[in-house]
Chains A and B, each alone.
Chain A
């Protein structure tokens, strides 16, 4: 059982380049999330999808776009990467955004460096 799978694991981008982080979960969860974590910091919510077909902004959505491709997959796109987007990105999922199913399951992270 893979849980939440993110790709790529590591990526180096030049300023202005674009890229998409892919995420898939195999737990039949309705809700999916993208967080970023800067060195020594906590996690900040970028976007989330409460259910298939819906997406909502989190705390730090600027510079990002998301697509809930289907129930399993939730991608994060950086259209024009900036050094300030250097971070570790975590995809996560949960049965729902609210109780009783809002325990979140995280992927292993994608390390992104923008030079």
Chain B
């Protein structure tokens, strides 16, 4: 059974760096083909894909946010970590991590965490 859970601060100040951790079970980020995505959703708005970390560190980032994002993983702890620098009030959103369906060509997300609301305010 696959589960994911996001953790991190609920409130950050403008210009600060946000670090979110996705702790998962039921799969390993050291297994070929496995990936974990990060998606965010501002209150009342649409989903926005941020990044995707793969088992082989072939990470992908949204071009519009690439300069601010870093993905890392700790396979021994079954964790994926997203870091976003220079936070702005417009980054206020619920941040989700999600399991990427394994298989050629799949960049779809079949299991999601419950999400964590991050508010950016001074």
On whether the two chains bind one another, the answer is: no
Question: Chain B interface (Cβ within 8 Å of chain A)?
Answer: none
